[in-house]
Chains A and B, each alone.
Chain A
Amino acid sequence: MGKGRPFLEIFTYVFDEDYRFPILEIFAFLFALATFVFADFAGGYDRTGETMAYSLVNTLCEFPLMFIFVVLILKNVAYGLGGDLDRGVMQTLFSYPLKRRHILTARLLSGLGIAVLLFFGIQIFGLFLLAPDILATYSSTVFLTYAAHLCSPALLLAGLILLLTLRLKRGGLALIIGVILFLAGLIFSGEVTYIAYATDSDVLLKIWAVINPNTVLQAYYYHMGTSGFLFGGETWVPSFSEVLLYLGAGYLIVAVLFIVGYVYFDRRLEI
């Protein structure tokens, strides 16, 4: 028997646990309806097409929709994995002829991969129905904006909560901490621009942009559209290569978190 079959067995088990009927269907319904309800083509006269594309995708990745998405991810990572550790299901999974890291991969593929596929798949489909021209003309802007929002808060929080769940071996507390971190990040995102504007310093803004790359995209596209006034005056006007650099740094942090999680799960986790 190859490794594929046990992997598939575990993947099917965690998928059934993560998405009991009708959880997947309820989230699919919410994502699809909310995509149309929250889409906002508020590009004014002074905005270029690229800024409008960024603004549109940004409205689809803001509070209500992103919160629903993050709750789904945190439920799967914290509650799902934590439940397996707490109830002793993980011991059964370890009896499969698979390396520990493959078991974690199966869990993350279901908990994270399917959720990401569902969220972004439905959003791209909704965008295709709403504004096919934006999707076709400014595909790189759409891709970058989604990549920034996926990096933080989604994957960053998932990585943090993965570590916390593995450490605590229970999901409830990790889930609550995850939700608090999400809301704290949301509040701080709103404040950081004002702080930069008030102190006339972009240091805090740049530090926050590493954790939340959407900040650098916001600075880049709002400057392009409105000569920077909306984004803390002339505090920070990043170039496109800076945007890529900050996005890369954000993903590097996410990668480090997941690598640490994998190493801990593989070598240090005691059950």
Chain B
Amino acid sequence: MRWITLLWRIGTVALAIGLALLVAWLIPSSAEYPYRMSRHIEPGQYMFESGVYSPQNGLQISVNATDEVRVYLLGASSLELDNWKTLLREAYPDSESPDLEIFIEFYTVPLLFLHEAYPEQPLPDLFGPQIITTPTKTQSMVWNVTVLDKGLQTHPEIILWNPPPGSTFSHELFPEAVLNIMAVVANPSSNTVEVDVEIKEVLAVAPKDRIIFPAQLLISIGIGLTIIWLFSRKFRKSIF
């Protein structure tokens, strides 16, 4: 009988935890901190925005373009980013330019893609004095769609969302881990495209898709064990 009571208490605790998960699941998520921007993307170029998101704060992105564009959401953990930053610093040891350091910090992925596409290209040539005189040349190399495509072929694991090309996009994403998420809008056409991008942070108590199954499982176990306890009590009463 003691074991049955123990099982019943384990069941009620499981039921309590399951109900807590259910309450967390029922709390609605809210979209906050909208960030809007309008940009012209030159032919064969791409633009890039990044932020840190977690299972409790996802992002809602909507893109409106005047012509057909490609949109990607890429994700990398801070550990991966740190490794890539180290790789870039080791690849260009002679460069002491503060511009390069800022670029490595904020544009790690585009620079990694550039480095992988043009491994022999010395970065000081790209980020030296010519950045002031010929900025378009520098930008065209870093933000080239061909470089992006090569990079994505090499690192397909970082693609979180890759819809078919179009002019209007809307998507909500909660990463499964703490990730640096990068929103990429690429213009593969030969015309300049005007793009309106809005990114909202979506706050949720818990990742809904991940807690509903444990909640159901724990509630079922709890109810099951309680029923066993109730039956055994009834059975015991009927004997004595």
Contacts and interface: CB of A to CB of B under 8 A. Distances in A.
B24 A33 contact: yes
Secondary structure at the A interface, as helix, strand, loop or mixed, is helix
A112 to B, nearest CB: 17
Secondary structure at the B interface, as helix, strand, loop or mixed, is helix
Given A36-B24, A131-B177, A26 B206 contact: no
Interface stretch (B28-36, B54-62, B231-239): B54-62
A28 B9 CA distance: 11
A129 B213 CA distance: 11
Interface residues on B, range: 20 to 34
A199 interface: no
Given A24-B9, A137-B79, A41 B54 contact: yes
A133 interface: yes
Nearest to A53: B178
Interface string A126-138: 0001111110010
A163 interface: no
Contacts, number: 91
A130 B55 contact: yes
A32 interface: yes
Contacts of B23: 33
Contacts of B17: 28-29, 32, 122, 125
Interface residues on A, range: 35 or more
B223 interface: no
Interface string A29-63: 11111001101110111011100100000000000
B141 interface: no
Contacts of A140: none
A21 B13 CA distance: 10
A23 B16 CA distance: 11
Contacts of A12: 2
Contacts of A37: 24, 205
A43 B211 CA distance: 23
A25 B214 contact: no
Given A33-B24, A43-B52, A25 B15 contact: yes
B20 A29 contact: yes
A39 B211 CA distance: 15
B149 to A, nearest CB: 27
B110 interface: no
A22 interface: yes
Contacts of B57: 41
A86 B16 CA distance: 33
A41 B211 CA distance: 17
A122 B21 CA distance: 11
A129 B16 contact: no
A28 B13 contact: yes
A167 B189 CA distance: 83
A127 to B, nearest CB: 11
Interface in B78-120: 78-79, 82
Nearest to A37: B205
Given A25-B16, A129-B214, A52 B206 contact: no
B79 A49 contact: yes
B160 to A, nearest CB: 14
B13 A133 contact: no
B19 A29 contact: yes
A50 to B, nearest CB: 9
Contacts of B54: 41, 131
Contact of A129 (B9, B77, B78, B210): B210
A133 B177 contact: yes
Contacts of B205: 36-37
Contacts of A49: 77-79, 82, 178
21 contacts: A21-B12, A22-B12, A25-B13, A28-B17, A28-B20, A29-B16, A29-B19, A30-B20, A31-B20, A32-B16, A32-B21, A36-B20, A36-B206, A37-B24, A39-B56, A41-B54, A41-B55, A45-B52, A125-B17, A131-B55, A131-B177
Given A29-B19, A49-B178, 12 more contacts: A19-B9, A22-B12, A28-B16, A28-B17, A30-B20, A32-B17, A33-B20, A40-B56, A118-B13, A130-B206, A131-B55, A137-B77
